[in-house]
Structure 1
Amino acid sequence: MGRLKIIVLLVIVPVLLFVLSLTIGSTQNISVIELFQRMAIQLGFLQDPTLQDGSLNTILWQVRLPRVLLTFLVGAALASSGGVLQSIFRNPIVDPFTLGISSGSAFGAALAMLFPIMSVNLSAFIFGVCAVGLTYLVSYSGVRTSIVGMVLAGMVISGVFTALLTLLQYMSDPYKLQAIIQWTMGNLHTASWSKVYTAIGPIAIGLFVIVLYRWKLNLLSLGDQEALAVGVNPKIIKLVLIAVATMITAASVAAVGVISLFGLIVPHISRMIFGPNNNISVWANISIGGTFLLLIDDFSRAVMPFEIPIGVFTMIIGAPLFIYLMRRNAMNWNS
């Protein structure tokens, strides 16, 4: 693929959609020209009394902008985490939630809602990390941790935390039960600058490490022996990348709840467009992940007067797309 096409798909299209997303909303749509005028006024480059609409400015800069930023960050994080885990485990059906992150974070959030000892975001993050730690301990055989063992252990730990979450839901009063269910379906309507500030640190650090290690992912996808042959220690690299994938996924889930299937599908789309080379697909996962989730969120905001949880849309859109790619063998599972 030519350099121009890569720039268009990975830079220009995301920027354009980012700007357009600020003009879309259930309250009021505005033109792109008016958006830039209000942006210039906000930055002090323009003075126009006719555009000093306080309510619309509040909607743009205090509601839509943090939501668009958080949506792009979460989409990039989940897609990048999925791509890393699929390369490490050499398994096309692994996603960020395979290791129990989603169920652990959901349990932590529900626990904080019922017993407000700590914030929901912090509790979700802590229990998401604990779920991965338990997965690693269960799969550790005393000598090494096998890939199949970690996947199976992740399924077991995920089932345990799901059962605990169900128990908490059973113990909840109707109001708290509704809040827990909404959180587990994924929600972006509660996006705020505080959530952006909380999530941007771990996600930015995690994405930086993934980009830094992107060429080593190509070696890991070939196998441990091949990585050792060129002087790369696969155990250390896997441990670092799994820890990073866990961190950015837990931070994302803590911020917006559970978004199903997203981290599974986007890496396949990136590889289908740009090929299996992680030097390019890592950047593609960041760009396409953020752009795709923005597109889904724009649809969820514009299609109805009320908002449907983003996790519902990713499941509705993602499942048919996944089946289509699988039937077309676009994922090259048999190669």
Structure 2
Amino acid sequence: MNAPSVRLVKIGPRAGRVSVSQKRVKIAAVLPILPIAAFLFSLTVGRYGIPLPEFFRLLRMRALGIALEGNFSTMATVLFGVRLPRILSALLVGAALSASGATYQGIFKNPMVSPDILGASAGAGFGAALAILNSFGIPGIELSSFLGGITAVLMTSLFTRAVGRHGETVLLLILTGMVVQNLFSAFTSITKYVADPNDKLPEITFWLMGGLSSITWREVWMLLIPCAAGMIPLFLSRWQINALTFGDEEAQSLGVDTRKIRILLIFSSTLLTSASIAVSGMIGWVGLIIPHLTRLVVGPNYKTLLPASVLIGSAFLLLVDNAARCIFPTEIPLGILTSIIGAPFFLYLLLKRRGAAE
């Protein structure tokens, strides 16, 4: 009589890792649905409700060249003149801020880093406020915003290297970033102080609170170009970012020119942050909380982390913008809502790191 066959099943850490990896791959495959669903939902909500079937019917009528009359004419004005530019800009800004935040965290090997903490947002905000004060157009505001943002990040990085010692870089990076952030915030306050109280001051103040209420197709195109210019190098450099997260020595052993790639990544990330701020104003915390949430979902590999951050960040900011324009009769500045969400999350991260250290 033959002995019954016994099937041995290997149970161990590796099997668990494979299961987690497969789960993350499945989740990553579903993520593209998020911004698409948020986009379709956003088309229907607002002061002027538009059912989704009516939207597709309107698209068909425009494609066939059918004249729009009555409700369809009003619907077309709302959708294509107001709502669609705002939706696209929210998707672009959310994607840009999330991608820049994830990249900064990889460059500096610190998950607590974001464009806000490094001072990039404050520097870009000062540059844009200065451009508004001098009546620059959108291209001038974007250029001034970029120069302010890159200056702030370079100051933070250089000051940290100058005063830091091995093992203290993470804490000093955060502290130095706060110093630079407050410095540029003071410069912005000076700009507001000297601004014309009847003209420029209200414009700067409203812009600093962040929002997309005045977005037109012109701003969408002005945002799309620098976003593409900043995003492409990041996506092409994902494996180099992975190498940088292990340290410069390990990255150099893999053939990565750490100095050149770090300059390219900082330049591209700051371009994304500055272009977003130039169009939408100061919208904080997105670059911190979205990469963290994404890392929990898909893991730390930048091959999937960066595109997933873009998808989740774009959907997140679009949904927050929907809340900003629909919850109350008066629209809430977008930067206020993201701060309400982001500040408690940052406190949670600090407490979590403290618990892990103990």
Please report the TM-score for the alignment, with normalisation by the length of structure 2. 0.83
1:264 aligns with 2:285: no
- Change in 2 beyond 3 A, CA 1:49/1:117: closer
- Change in 2 beyond 3 A, CA 1:48/1:101: same
1:86 aligns with 2:110: no
- Structure 1: unaligned runs, 5 residues or longer: none
- Change in 2 beyond 3 A, CA 1:333/1:59: farther
The alpha-carbon deviation at position 136 of structure 1 amounts to 5.2
- Change in 2 beyond 3 A, CA 1:125/1:16: same
The alpha-carbon deviation at position 172 of structure 1 amounts to 2.7
Give the match for residue 243 of structure 2.
Answer: 219
- Change in 2 beyond 3 A, CA 1:51/1:147: farther
Deviations 1:255-282 (A, max 9, x none): 1011111111100000011111111111
Question: Which amino acid is 2:326 matched to?
Answer: A
Number of residue pairs aligned between Structure 1 and Structure 2: 330
SS of 1:267's equivalent? helix
- Structure 2: unaligned runs, 5 residues or longer: 1-22, 163-167
Give the match for residue 152 of structure 2.
Answer: 131
Give the match for residue 203 of structure 1.
Answer: 227
The alpha-carbon deviation at position 4 of structure 1 amounts to 4.2
Cα distance in 2 for partners of 1:7, 1:291 equals: 15
1:174 aligns with 2:197: yes
Cα distance in 2 for partners of 1:325, 1:99 equals: 17
Give the match for residue 29 of structure 1.
Answer: 49
Give the match for residue 39 of structure 1.
Answer: 59
Deviations 1:87-125 (A, max 9, x none): 111112110133322222222222233222554344333
Cα distance in 1 for partners of 2:26, 2:176 equals: 44
- Across the aligned residues of Structure 1 and Structure 2, the Cα RMSD in angstroms comes to 2.9
Question: Which amino acid is 2:113 matched to?
Answer: V
Give the match for residue 6 of structure 1.
Answer: 28
Deviations 1:15-34 (A, max 9, x none): 111111111112x0111111
Say whether the 8 Å CA contact 1:206–1:245 is kept in structure 2. Answer: yes
1:192 aligns with 2:216: yes
Give the match for residue 316 of structure 1.
Answer: 340
1:20 aligns with 2:44: no
Question: Which amino acid is 1:229 matched to?
Answer: S
Cα distance in 2 for partners of 1:200, 1:15 equals: 18
Larger Rg: 2
Say whether the 8 Å CA contact 2:298–2:305 is kept in structure 1. Answer: yes
- Change in 2 beyond 3 A, CA 1:330/1:6: farther
The alpha-carbon deviation at position 333 of structure 1 amounts to 6.2
Say whether the 8 Å CA contact 1:92–1:333 is kept in structure 2. Answer: no
Give the one of 91, 114, 129 matched to 1:95.
Answer: 114
Say whether the 8 Å CA contact 1:125–1:253 is kept in structure 2. Answer: no
Say whether the 8 Å CA contact 2:127–2:146 is kept in structure 1. Answer: yes
1:73 aligns with 2:92: yes
Percent sequence identity is: 39
The alpha-carbon deviation at position 156 of structure 1 amounts to 3.4
Cα distance in 2 for partners of 1:325, 1:139 equals: 22
